[in-house]
Structure 1
Amino acid sequence: MSEIERGRGVALWSQISGILADDILKGVLRQGEQLPSAQELAARFNVNRHTVRRAVAALEERNLVRTEQGRGTFVQEHALDYPISRRTRFTQNMRNLNVEADIEVLEDAREIPPPQVAQALCMDRHAYAYRIETLSRADGHIVDHSTAYFPAARFAGLPAVYRRLRSVTRTLEEFGVTDYERKHTRVSARLPDAHTARLMRQPANRPLLYVQSINTDTRGMPVQYGITRFSGDWVQLVLMADS
């Protein structure tokens, strides 16, 4: 069925949602393809845009489509399996998945961090840390917005090194940290704040996978506290046996 039928006891938005879902499942609408606009769909089915929006919302609930603010609605692709283990490395994870990765540095600052960050890094509560904000992409899709803190006293000048290398592993190596591992990981689902929602081009009412982590060197000293906000549309977290 490709046309809706009025008067048969089934809501118009439900029929439209079913037709579009069938197009997606049959491959008529391919993964990553943008859906026609609400105006175009309204004209196709001879309904108002409110009916179309309700139909699209039903597709989102089934995880068949995703909406990006300012861009439109797209057929959902398969999410990436992102392993979290004792040695989690973003670039290596993307390489293992045969995905082209890119990290954009949004901001860096030297500041007194929040008390919980200072405690996690075993720092005096009045000591300074470097904060680095990044946006990571996989094959051009935004997969996370991250905030990383590093003890400033131990890693003087770290932001400049990170901007040059775009890698935590290689940056820490420049400071003599030849290896580090994940000491602590906490995963939860949270709604993004307005800033993160804008950066990740997603609605503010769609939860993110919120990951807090602490990395330590081979002596057990904390070297990084991280907050990573993963897009649930693009990433599935896989907790490995050694995590």
Structure 2
Amino acid sequence: MSETDDSAVTHQPFPADLPGDDPGEDVARGTGVALWKQIVERLEADIVEGRLAPGTRLPTEMELSERFGVNRHTLRRALAMLTDKRLIEATPGRGTFVKEPPIRYPIGARTRFSEIVSREGRAPSGRLIGSRIEPATAEIAEALRLAPGDEVLRVDMIREADGVPITIGSHWYEAGRCRDLDLLVAATGSVTRALETLGLGDYRRLETRITARLADEEERRLLSLPAGRTVMVIDAINGDAQRRPIQYSRARFSADRVQLVVKT
């Protein structure tokens, strides 16, 4: 169906779980305002005025196309604009949602993802996406007070809030001290619980460095980000009660899903 075919589509009522409108207030043809722009204006008003609350799941493209009486091409153009405005967000396998406000994420001596997300009223989760033993680079060796080339265990995770990916984390540990940590992470979905099993749960932040850059292809895929989005990169060293480093980590956060707060 082409753009000009929209006039042949019959209006259908808005799905019952979202705010409805009188048929007379629907998108209008022949006004000089493109149909996709009218859809943007209508949905943006619903979001800004609170009729569509943060976290609300939007109907499918087919349902929205029927609702507004337009073809899928027109509807997708409107949704793309709302995504660019950062009012909605699509997550593969879950659907398209009204964007939640950014998670307030404090960086302090004791920074725990699950605790922070839970305090925000969101459901935290995590999963292992890879692990391996590798030689320590000069940077990792210095952070963990090892010799370059010493064996370190690398653990890669993705962490989510309400099923939305928030951060990808790569963590390195002295292999001999934290052997089998990756198996514990895979079983629990939590670095903190895994370290607690090894008697290292009371780790503390020794150093934090924060930078920002454009997300690369893998980060866009794992974090479900469109091209051109930014990630905040947090390099951190965590240590035990004696301030001996036990973990060097590099977390890449979707920049518009968190608000970093540095505690002093």
TM-score by length of 1: 0.81
Higher Cα Rg, which structure: 2
Count of residues paired in the alignment? 241
| 1:81 is the counterpart of 2:90 | no
Q: Return the alpha-carbon distance in structure 1 between the equivalents of residues 60 and 201 of structure 2.
A: 51
Q: How far does the alpha carbon of each residue in 1:105-149 deviate from its partner, in whole angstroms, 9 at most, with x for none?
A: 222211114432223222211111101111222233322221111
Q: Pairwise mapping of residues 55-94 of structure 1 onto structure 2 (< 5 A)?
A: 55-69=78-92, 72-94=95-117
| Cα distance in 2 for residues equivalent to 1:146 and 1:188 | 15
Amino acid aligned to 1:108 = S
Q: How does 1:39-58 map to 2 (within 5 A)?
A: 41-42=64-65, 44-45=67-68, 49-58=72-81
* Percent of aligned positions that are identical: 38
SS of equivalent residue, structure 1 residue 227: strand
Q: 1:100 to 1:8 in 2, by over 3 A?
A: closer
SS of the equivalent of 2:25 reads coil
More deviation, 24-33/139-148: 24-33
Structure 1 stretches of 5 or more lacking a match?
none
Name which structure has the greater RCO, CA cutoff 8 Å, separation 6+.
1
Alignment match, 2:138: 115
**Cα distance change of structure 1 residues 185 and 21 upon mapping to structure 2, 3 Å threshold:** same
The answer to whether the aligner puts 1:182 opposite 2:205 as a matched pair is: yes
Determine if contact 1:70/1:201 at 8 Å carries over to the other structure.
Answer: no
Letter of the 2:111 partner, please give it. T
Quote the residue 2:172 is aligned against.
149
Q: Distance in 1 between matches of 2:79 and 2:46?
A: 13
Letter in 2 for 1:207: T
SS at structure 1 position matched to 2:81: helix
- Letter of the 1:216 counterpart: G
Code of the residue aligned with 1:24 in structure 2: it is I
**C-alpha spacing 1:39/1:95, structure 2 compared with 1 (3 Å):** closer
Q: Are 1:207 and 2:207 an aligned pair?
A: no
Q: Any conservation in 1 of the 2:58–2:95 contact (CA below 8 Å)? A: yes
| 8 A contact 1:69–1:203 mirrored in 2 | no
Q: Which residue of 88, 101, 105 corresponds with 2:124? A: 101
1:216 pairs with 2:242: no
Rounded to whole Å, the distance in 2 between the matches of 1:196 and 1:67 is 16
**What is the root-mean-square deviation in Å for CA atoms of aligned residues?**
2.9
Q: 1:183 to 1:73 in 2, by over 3 A?
A: same
Instruction: Give, in whole Å, the separation in 2 of the partners of 1:74 and 1:224.
Output: 35
TM-score by length of 2: 0.75
Shift of the 97–70 alpha-carbon distance from structure 1 to 2, 3 Å rule, reads closer
Once residues 253 and 61 of structure 2 are traced to their aligned partners in structure 1, the CA distance between those partners, rounded to angstroms, is: 28
Whichever residue aligns with residue 116 of structure 2, its letter is N
Q: Which residue pairs with 1:196 in the alignment? A: 219
Task: For structure 2, list consecutive stretches of 5 or more residues without a partner in the other structure.
Answer: 1-23
Alpha-carbon contact 2:173-2:247 (below 8 Å) kept: yes
Residue aligning to 2:149: 126
